[in-house]
Chain A
């Protein structure tokens, strides 16, 4: 077994009011994928930041190949061969792929004059190693798919000749196809002796990809680092949350009622093509498909953000027109968008102002906001969704991801919708909050709400849905009831039968 390339010994770090890391010891070896798990707030980000040099530890030592070192800043970290790929990709949208890769260390002479030719050649060479020859190094990054943007990020890390690569939830926003390509790249890097620290919320990835796993909770290492063969998902969950979750996806059987929403041949541009389906009272319908299959786009058509160009929508049997979100809301449709920070929240405003935003009109008296009514309404949803916040006046930016997501949910539940469209409702939130949201969806369905859930996590789709619709290339290609919705069937439909033959790896990557 190779010696650790980097080792943290008894690292502690505190911020005002929080002990982020408490005597954490952690090591990574050359040529291994080391999974790092933990709920949000467990200390993973702080650990990464200490490794990259963005933060300095209060105490403890960092050893690189056995030698104690300090990493005063990220530039220094990069020089030592430590690179990180964050969830929020850090690219320059208007600059070319090659420049994105080499920004800050372009091939240049001693006067600092950049050689564009050399830079593009080297960029091509690196992308070739990543099996991404299809990327044009001279085109701007704006407009690339998330998967391609991520490949640019990885190429950037490799251009620094990184020996230690930290990946923070790299698959969170990827299509299944891109996930496969990413795994392939990670395995290649491992074979070349790169040490990879892999952070994820998707436990199945740990067993697919990692050699060893370490769990953090409340700033401490839980138990000790284990080889993945020595553990299982249930144990890891227990370690992460410190309690047993009976089941991830507690969907109860439901008796669907009459049709609430019906779409007939809906089309918008190239992203939504001839979509027809029905949604019944009290049922949860999962909308599966690869990212880019047009699921969010369909949701945006239904919600009037990009109104349908042709086709018909019926609400409770009556044909309706939905030209903007207001009209959708008036018809009892609510949409919890994919990206809560970008599309959902007013981060610098407080819980109350966020909660009542969509129903503010109902709280007005002669145009003025009725403070008492607003406070009552907010409290109702804070209690009901168990939003953990010191007060209604707390800025949403200061809440955890799970609680932020609950605030977005509260905003839309306050509108008392008949149809709730949830777009990636549990992306990037911790296991505990995830289970609470699943329970909530259950309750809502039982109370008669019709729920359309878009999710890229297949286990979530299969576990929560009464029916599963599968989209591909802008249209619905398959429908399964709960009994017939298996992973294999859904994946086959999502990728198209031909695709399944050409990439046999796809079916194995989702356990």
Chain B
């Protein structure tokens, strides 16, 4: 069986085992190698402190990668996530500083902004049937434009100390946002792998027409996915703002590429129909650790981008070779 793909797997433990031979397996091995190499290169790498710290930087990307996994499995894509994050963050700062809303209410505005941005994407894609790549390419520009227009490129700062809890605080030994993330990872994994909704997502990605003919509410599923993506961007914006204590219109520029890279690295087919949350998280962990490790060994910040690209192409290439055999 040369054409073995893993559509909608990871439900049964036996299938989990066989999945180890494919993308997740490869990724896991890659991860182990990276950890060993990096810990030999820098004695600061393999420390609990460093690793926990990484989760702070990692959370915002991860929050976007969760719904992105579902969207790509459904055969779509969302290029506007970085812009939605920035717009939501700007709305948080704007409604708190300029409109004088209480901070909790401003956070609600932030989440709502994301959800509305996502819902607009969803409506365009599901109901007006604009191809996702084009629709979200346009809204990428529009939402980024909203961030600049509304903020007039000014940043909001001076948030009260307790606000920092979500992005800088700890619960026990764990960063706050890490715990939020863990809960959401579990929830999204269950949603995708175990529920009827998750099955629908795979079905739509496999054959949208057949899904429609089988009575699946294709439009509603897609609309939900893109709205969810916006909502998560809003949540990421909130945590981001709390972490860096300022809202800037150019926040998260290009972040969509990191997110998509993580999802694809995690074995989700860019053509839709297969993939998993576990894969995405492995992909993201690899990217983050590589960057961190390189920074610790003295490579300059933005140059670590190189690694993402190399790992992405190498992983898919290896996976292709393994499967073709």
Which A residues have a C-beta under 8 Å from some C-beta of B? Answer: 16, 303, 305, 324-326, 328-329, 335, 337, 342-350, 353, 357-358, 360-361, 363-364, 367-369, 371, 393, 395, 397-398, 411
Contacts and interface: CB of A to CB of B under 8 A. Distances in A.
Contacts of B7: 346, 348-350, 353, 395
Contacts of B4: 395
Given A343-B209, A343-B213, A393-B15, 10 more contacts: A325-B212, A325-B213, A329-B215, A337-B213, A346-B210, A349-B8, A350-B8, A357-B216, A358-B215, A397-B3
Contacts of B189: none
Contacts of A393: 15
B203 interface: yes
Contact of B199 (A325, A344, A360, A411): A360
B297 interface: no
Contact of B202 (A303, A329, A349): A349
9 contacts: A16-B2, A303-B213, A344-B213, A346-B206, A357-B214, A367-B196, A393-B15, A395-B1, A395-B5
B133 interface: no
A337 B15 CA distance: 31
Nearest to A335: B213
Nearest to B269: A348
B206 A357 contact: no
Interface in B158-210: 190, 194-197, 199-200, 202-203, 206-207, 209-210
A346 B74 CA distance: 13
B217 A326 contact: yes
Interface of B: 1-5, 7-8, 11-12, 15, 190, 194-197, 199-200, 202-203, 206-207, 209-217, 273-274
Given A325-B215, A345-B210, A349-B202, A369 B196 contact: yes
Contacts of A395: 1, 3-5, 7
B324 to A, nearest CB: 13
A7 to B, nearest CB: 33
B2, B15, B200, B212 pick with most chain A CB within 10 angstroms: B212
Contacts of A397: 3
A330 to B, nearest CB: 9
Contacts of B2: 16
3 smallest CB-CB distances across A and B, nearest first, come from A346-B206, A325-B215, A348-B7
Contacts of A363: 196
A353 B216 CA distance: 13
B1, B197, B213 pick with most chain A CB within 10 angstroms: B213
A347 B207 contact: yes
B196 A360 contact: yes
Contacts of B5: 348, 395
A361 to B, nearest CB: 6
B12 to A, nearest CB: 8
Nearest to A326: B215
B3 A369 contact: no
A343 B210 contact: yes
Given A346-B7, A358-B215, A397-B3, A368 B195 contact: yes
A429 B2 CA distance: 24
B101 to A, nearest CB: 35
B3 to A, nearest CB: 7
A346 B274 CA distance: 12
A398 B210 CA distance: 18
Contact of B194 (A16, A328, A368): A368
Contacts of A357: 199, 203, 211, 214, 216
Contact of B195 (A329, A343, A367): A367
Given A345-B207, A371-B11, A305 B196 contact: no
Contacts of A345: 207, 210
Nearest to B4: A395
B15, B190, B196, B210 pick with most chain A CB within 10 angstroms: B210
A180 to B, nearest CB: 31
B215 to A, nearest CB: 4
A361 B213 contact: no
Nearest to B200: A360
A342, A343, A346 pick with most chain B CB within 10 angstroms: A346
Contacts of B206: 346-349
Given A398-B1, A398-B3, A305 B199 contact: no
A350 to B, nearest CB: 7
Given A346-B203, A397-B3, A398-B3, A364 B215 contact: no
Contacts of B190: 368
Contacts of B197: 367
B113 to A, nearest CB: 28
A369 B199 contact: yes
Nearest to A360: B196
B214 A358 contact: yes
Nearest to B2: A16
Contacts of B203: 346, 349, 353, 357
A348 B210 contact: no
Contacts of A353: 7-8, 199, 202-203
Contacts of A346: 7, 202-203, 206-207, 210-211
A349 B280 CA distance: 20
Nearest to B203: A346
B72 to A, nearest CB: 15
B207 A369 contact: no
A344 B196 contact: no
Contacts of B207: 342, 345-347
A349 B272 CA distance: 12
A353 B190 CA distance: 17
Nearest to B273: A348
B202, B206, B273 pick with most chain A CB within 10 angstroms: B206
